Amino acid sequence: MATTQTLLAGTGVHATGAVHANLTAAPLIAAAMRRGEGRLSADGAFIGVTGIHTGRSVADKFVVQDPEVMNDVAWGKINQPMSRAHFDTFVGRVRGYLGAQPELYTEDLYAGADPAHRIRVRVVTTNAWHALFARNMFLRPPAAELEGFTPDYTILHAPELDAVPAEDGCKSTTCIALSFKDRIIAIAGTSYAGEIKKSIFTVMNWLLPARGVLPMHCSANLGPNGDSALFFGLSGTGKTTLSSDPERQLIGDDEHGWSDTGIFNFEGGCYAKVINLSRSAEPQIWDASHRFGVVLENVVANEHGHLDLDDGTLTQNTRSCYPIDFIPNTVPGGQAGLPKNVVMLTADAFGVLPPISRLTPAQAMYHFLSGYTARVAGTEKGLGKEPQATFSTCFGAPFLPRPPEVYGRMLADLMGRHGTDCWLVNTGWSGGAYGTGSRMSIKVTRALLRAALDGSLAKADFVRDPFFGLMIPTAVPGVPTEVLNPRGAWADKAAYDRTATQLVGLFEKNFGAFEAGVGDDVRAVAIKAAA
């Protein structure tokens, strides 16, 4: 029988209480209910509430300035430096707190479906529901592989513990600190479960480029003819929704790697945004979220446990976390061949980008580095109720420890060597900016994507947009022609021109940070104001 010391091997935690290791969903939910960590929905899903932290605490994330990584980390607002002394103090505080708890929960898991590139992760947490979240989210090793499990990276998760800025070298009582040298992530002062998931994504973004593998913030699916597709985009742009297509098999909804042999999921679960979730438009996510074993985060339910997915009282960033096999048509093993299509999703709050456009390889590099979208309320702490235009490099800037050009060059190289087509898709607004226009119909977006993925759209006639240089199809079966050209969908054409010009200026200003690091082909297609 494993001892407490064995169960916590490699973590530095010396527990005085009980340690519950690798429990499955049923005993974890039973423990969470016994401990009063949350409640059950009418369908048996566990509902957890995270208090003031209902999104990622971007300003509270730190990387340790160890000599081994100093020259390779892109230091700045995303990768804020923490001294070795402060990290040791902070981790010592977290370890001491965890060790003094009457109960701890640990889960031994994998990140990376490809055995050649996976890492072993051990999560140590104070809450049963956070352990269930991690178990749902990552890959669950077979029982035989848990014997003698040695973690490559350890997450020390103490959500109820407050960091001490003056002693720990952080900015607030919330702190997420990562040491690549020690292979430890320590999290304190936030119950938002997404910090667990994204800390490991950051690790994969650090490790894989050195192995020649591109880590990506994207979803992926597989067509009936064996054609895989990637969907880039920030939270709220539709990665999860659009990749969960009944006509295609889901590979994964958020994080993947692209090697010279194919693509693979980092995770074993989905973390779907469910505010205003529609059963008719998104039946797979709806069904997956209404069953036992699911973790619902900040979702509102009535006294009988019936969910109100339209209620954003707690946050607009309500989430459902479930094992990927809760979706009926998934790819066993989470791996597929080389992608035929790359889709870059943007929720354009200005309402001036076309619903779909075809990108040249140089344009694909440009838009990947630009990463334009509108941040949707609630995905990060401190956002208001309205979407905000933003540029997030590689559609995942908060998770990139290396300079963005590293990832951009890898994408361009992979697309060029493997002949991958690229499409820019606007899932945001049409007919006007946010507040005037309407959100793009998901039925229209699906119709456009299916035409792109089955190869028929590539054969269509295209016209060049004068503001952004994008190639827009003139006709797509099943889609109203007036929707395809964004200017035509605006009643006030002069207002469209002014708004498009405004967005062009934002693109131009943002690209200044990357212009010197790209080739002439990318500079030639950069969006610029008319001379």
Residue 27 has pLDDT above 70, yes or no: yes
- Which of 296, 299, 306 minimizes the C-alpha distance to 132? 296
pLDDT tens for each residue of 247-286: 899 999 899 999 999 999 999 999 999 999 999 888 989 9
Give the pLDDT confidence score for residue 379 in this predicted structure.
47
Q: Active site includes 217?
A: yes
Cβ contact 460:475 at 8 Å = yes
Q: Which residue among 239, 248, 358, 446 is the active-site one?
A: 239
Long-range CB pairs of 476-480 (<8 Å, 24+ gap) are 476/356, 476/447, 476/448, 476/451, 477/447, 477/451, 478/447, 479/355, 479/444, 479/447, 479/448, 480/444
> Which of the four pLDDT bands, split at 50, 70 and 90, describes residue 387?
low
- The structure tokens listed for 286 are 């709806």
- In the residue annotation, 56 being an active-site residue is answered as yes
Q: One of 11, 41, 50, 56 is an active-site residue; which one?
A: 56
Question: Helix axis angle, 404-418 relative to 361-370, nearest 10°?
Answer: 150
Q: Stretch 495-506: mean pLDDT, rounded?
A: 94
Distance CA 139, CA 323 (A): 9
Q: Which of 198, 358, 375, 381 is catalytic?
A: 198
Tell me whether residue 254 is one of the annotated catalytic residues: yes
Structure-block tokens of residue 74? 């892109």
Place of tokens 């690209």: 511
Question: Is position 198 annotated as part of the catalytic site?
Answer: yes
Three-class secondary structure assignment of 283-332 = HHHHHHHCCCCCEEECCEECCCCCEECCCCCCCCCCEEEEEHHHCCCECH
Mean pLDDT value across residues 183-191: 98
Q: What is the largest CA-CA distance in the chain?
A: 74
pLDDT band at residue 381, thresholds of 50, 70 and 90? low
Q: Report the run of H or E that residue 478 belongs to, with start and end.
A: none
What is the mean predicted confidence (pLDDT) over 440-444?
91
How is residue 348 written in tokens?
């354009």
Active site residue 235: yes
Segment among 14-28, 317-331, 432-446 with least mean pLDDT: 432-446
190-205 mean pLDDT: 98
Domains of the chain: 55-67+76-211 (3.40.449.10), 214-267+333-525 (3.90.228.20)
Which amino acid would we find at residue 479?
V
- Per-residue pLDDT band at 240 (split at 50, 70, 90): confident
Q: How confident is the model at residue 380 (pLDDT cuts 50, 70, 90)?
A: very low
E strand residue ranges, 41-152: 46-48, 61-64, 80-82, 103-111, 119-125
Which of 319, 367, 381, 450 is catalytic? The answer is 319
Q: In terms of DSSP bridges, do strands 388-391 and 372-375 run parallel, antiparallel, or are they unpaired?
A: antiparallel
Distance of CA 470 to the CA centre of its chain: 26
Is 120 among the catalytic positions?
no
Q: Indicate the pTM of the whole model.
A: 0.91
Known catalytic residue at 373: no
Q: Which residue has the tokens 């989905």?
A: 270
Residues 342-371 have a mean pLDDT of 94
3-state class of 130 per DSSP? helix
Cα gap 422→426, rounded to integer Å: 13
The backbone torsions φ and ψ at residue 177, rounded to the nearest 5 degrees and listed phi first, read -120, 135
The crossing angle, in degrees rounded to 10, of helices 194-207 and 128-137 is 40
- Report the chain's mean pLDDT, rounded to a whole number: 93
Whether 372 contacts 357, CB under 8 Å: no
Check residue 144 and give its pLDDT: 94
Residue 440 vs residues 132, 426, 482: alpha-carbon distances, Å: 35, 8, 13
pLDDT in tens, 33-63: 999 999 999 999 999 999 999 999 999 999 9
Q: How far is CA 85 from the centre of its chain?
A: 31
Contact status, residue 193 vs residue 321, Cβ threshold 8 Å? yes
Q: Which of 135, 137, 189, 144 is nearest to 163 (CA)?
A: 189
Contacting residues for 259 by C-beta, under 8 A, at least 6 apart: 114, 116, 117, 212, 213, 214
* 464/471 Cα distance (integer angstroms): 5
14 in catalytic set:
no
Q: Classify each residue of 466-489 as buried b or exposed e, where b means 16 or more C-beta atoms within 10 Å of its C-beta.
A: ebbbbbbbeebeebeeebbbbeeb
Retrieve residue 135's tokens.
């178990």
Say if residue 395's pLDDT is above 60.
yes
Lowest mean pLDDT among 187-201, 316-330, 374-388: 374-388
Q: Which residues pair with 217 in a beta bridge?
A: 255
Mode of pairing for the β-strands spanning 295-297 and 319-323:
antiparallel
Q: Which one is catalytic: 254, 348, 421, 465? A: 254
Active-site choice (240, 392, 430, 445): 240
